[in-house]
Chains A and B, each alone.
Chain A
Amino acid sequence: MNVVRAWGVPVGAVLVASAVAAILLALLGAPPLEAVRALVGGAVGDSLALENTLVRSSPLLLIGLAVAVSFRCGIWNIGGEGQLYVGALAATAIATRAFGSAPPGVALPLALGAGMVAGALWGGLAAVLRVTRGVSEVLSTILLNFIAVLGVAYAVHGPLQEVVATYPQSDALAATARLPLLPGTLRIHAGLPFVFLLPFLLWLMLFRTAAGLRLRAVGLSPEAARYAGISTSRETVRVLLLSGGLAGLAGAIEVCGVTGRLFENLSPGYGFTAIAVALLARLHPIGVVPAALFFGALASGSGAMQRVAHVPSVTVQVVEALVILFSVGFALPRRGS
């Protein structure tokens, strides 16, 4: 029964969601079979497609973990997208303005660190508003998403715009602040192996340390946790700092490892897809790995689907939404809130 629940529900959710999306496409007059063929080709068709899938899985994995830990603590961090953007913004500011000429061993860690701290503070702001002013983190993180995305838009039209001022984008990051590519690959950056290690670290933290136990206890029952002497306010702040930091790191890795610049629409909604990733993984850090790979493949394949079969890439969001609905509608036990 446990095996069925652990694997059957996620696999079923993915299958049903894909089928529903295909039917909707057919109803709108698009060719579903051709779309699926293009999608699969763009996701795993050749080595470049595979590399693309891996690279796109990276932010999904990081923010998927961010969502999983916060949901486990009963904190609804919907703000992964905004935390990613402020992380990318901070990393870019450090790498193009403040420490661009620093030696290699300094600029890169500073940029990644700045992204992480910025994301953590953005999440922390929601925590402070909740703990001191009673503002639901659901609303504050959603609003902070809009503010962060527009903040980046302002930055690349204003203070962080490239020196030649042609396009609304930042200067290219200094080579010393870039994550190098792994030898023999075209897109895989050196941050990727580290990213794929994180789920195991997070699993250790959640299930093998007292801090992880406290965090889960608050999620399972805030009243019981309080009775056991755990401060729910402190856990709220901690988990949003951690969660925001992971998402901020994802943003920093995007600019340092993938794009090399900051611009608007840096993320195709990774922060929202990550919610589907975390729920498909049933909020388990290890489960986030296959879930992130799956949605990374979808993200990578959707571009090819649009080019080859002329099916809008945003259709992938429908699959994501349906996966979320089917994951929570039939599987997750409701935790006390």
Chain B
Amino acid sequence: MDAAGLALVLATLRLSTPLGVAAMGELVGQRAGVLNIGIEGLMLVGAFGAFAVGVATGSVLLATGAAVGLGCLLAAIFAWFVLNQRADPIVTGTAVNLLALGGTGSAYRLLFPPERPIVSPPAVPDLVPGVGVFLLVAVLLVVAVAILLSRTRIGLEIRATGERAEAAHNEGIPVMRLRWACTLFGGACAGLAGAILVLWISQSFVEGMTAGRGFIALSLVLFGGYRPARIVAGALLFGGANALQFQLQAAGFEIPYALLLMTPYVLTLIVLALYAGRAHAPGDLARPFVART
């Protein structure tokens, strides 16, 4: 393989990883019946947490931990409103996205004012040149989620909760507790995806830097028909398209920048139009649950 081909493969892996990781979290949540469109905001707070803590401590581990923690924290706010207060998940998710955008924007401008010298967070160490440790973490995560959902007792209970919460409850499955746990897991994954963006891909923080990646991950869950392997294939497809964009640009093709940036959203919309109708969503997705005694 020539240098350009290798660069394309590496860029594909790098750009696919955050999408795949975020999508795994959303998958587990949705399988339990929780539709979290706040995933974009969860990723963003993860990215900011990784940046701020990375700059302050210089530690990749602490930065990643902060990202996961902040993702969980914001996911807990979402879970409380949606699961306990039975607020609408779409509206709540939109508010979570807005909260993350405003919150990280305010914090970034106050903590890193323009007069401060430019700082960058530590880079994640490489497994082999060009491939960060995060790729290994992502692969392990996908395998773990696949096994969890299809081969374990808890996975069965999660799926039952998403499909028919009432029936699951009657079987003695702790519906609320499972939904909470799955939502927090989704927050952790989204936060990790944000950390990957900052510590592996961009080495900086920019306001609103997730730029719709959370929504693309959400679309991948649908596109992949709620199955881990197909979601990973989708993530690679999008990462590849993304990588190709940059390569074309670097090769000097005269494509207007805005149109280049537009392609992932157009591609997602087309993919949704082709496949969304076919995916079988969990029966009780986005429906609130009240235990009848």
Whether, in the assembled complex, A182 has its beta carbon less than 8 Å from a beta carbon of chain B, the answer is no
Whether, in the assembled complex, A142 has its beta carbon less than 8 Å from a beta carbon of chain B, the answer is yes
How long is the Cα–Cα vector from A30 to B113 in the complex, in angstroms?
Answer: 12
Which residues of B, 234-287, contact A by the 8 Å Cβ criterion?
256-259, 261-262, 265-266, 268-269, 272-274, 276-277, 286-287
Complex interface bits, A42-57 against B, C-beta within 8 A gives 1, otherwise 0: 0000000000000000
Whether, in the assembled complex, A167 has its beta carbon less than 8 Å from a beta carbon of chain B, the answer is no
When distances are taken between beta carbons in the complex, the residues of chain A under 8 Å from B102 are 314-321
When distances are taken between beta carbons in the complex, the residues of chain B under 8 Å from A157 are 256-258
Whether, in the assembled complex, B87 has its beta carbon less than 8 Å from a beta carbon of chain A, the answer is yes
Residue of B at shortest CB range from A147? Answer: B265
CB distance from B203 to the nearest CB of A (A): 23
When distances are taken between beta carbons in the complex, the residues of chain B under 8 Å from A140 are 269, 272
Contact (A332, B87) CB under 8 Å given A150-B258, A321-B96, A321-B99: yes
When distances are taken between beta carbons in the complex, the residues of chain A under 8 Å from B219 are 139, 143
Q: Is the CB of A312 within 8 A of B87?
A: no
Whether, in the assembled complex, B175 has its beta carbon less than 8 Å from a beta carbon of chain A, the answer is no
CB distance from A18 to the nearest CB of B (A): 13
When distances are taken between beta carbons in the complex, the residues of chain A under 8 Å from B212 are 142-143, 146
How long is the Cα–Cα vector from A317 to B97 in the complex, in angstroms?
Answer: 10
Contact (A317, B286) CB under 8 Å given A157-B258, A328-B88, A328-B91: no
Q: Is the CB of B207 within 8 A of A314?
A: yes
Whether, in the assembled complex, A135 has its beta carbon less than 8 Å from a beta carbon of chain B, the answer is yes
How long is the Cα–Cα vector from A143 to B265 in the complex, in angstroms?
Answer: 6
CB distance from B223 to the nearest CB of A (A): 11
Whether, in the assembled complex, B288 has its beta carbon less than 8 Å from a beta carbon of chain A, the answer is yes
Contact with A76, one of B90, B109, B266 (Cβ below 8 angstroms): B90
Complex interface bits, B154-195 against A, C-beta within 8 A gives 1, otherwise 0: 000000000000000000000000000000000000000000
How long is the Cα–Cα vector from A133 to B278 in the complex, in angstroms?
Answer: 9
Which residues of B, 13-41, contact A by the 8 Å Cβ criterion?
37
Residue of B at shortest CB range from A29? Answer: B110
Contact (A129, B215) CB under 8 Å given A143-B268, A154-B256, A318-B102: no
How long is the Cα–Cα vector from A272 to B257 in the complex, in angstroms?
Answer: 25
CB distance from B75 to the nearest CB of A (A): 14
Q: Is the CB of A312 within 8 A of B273?
A: no
Complex interface bits, A136-177 against B, C-beta within 8 A gives 1, otherwise 0: 101110111011001101100110000000000000000000
How long is the Cα–Cα vector from A76 to B266 in the complex, in angstroms?
Answer: 20
Q: Is the CB of A78 within 8 A of B94?
A: yes
Nearest first, the 10 closest Cβ-Cβ pairs linking A and B are A317-B102, A134-B277, A321-B99, A314-B105, A154-B258, A324-B95, A321-B98, A153-B258, A318-B102, A312-B109
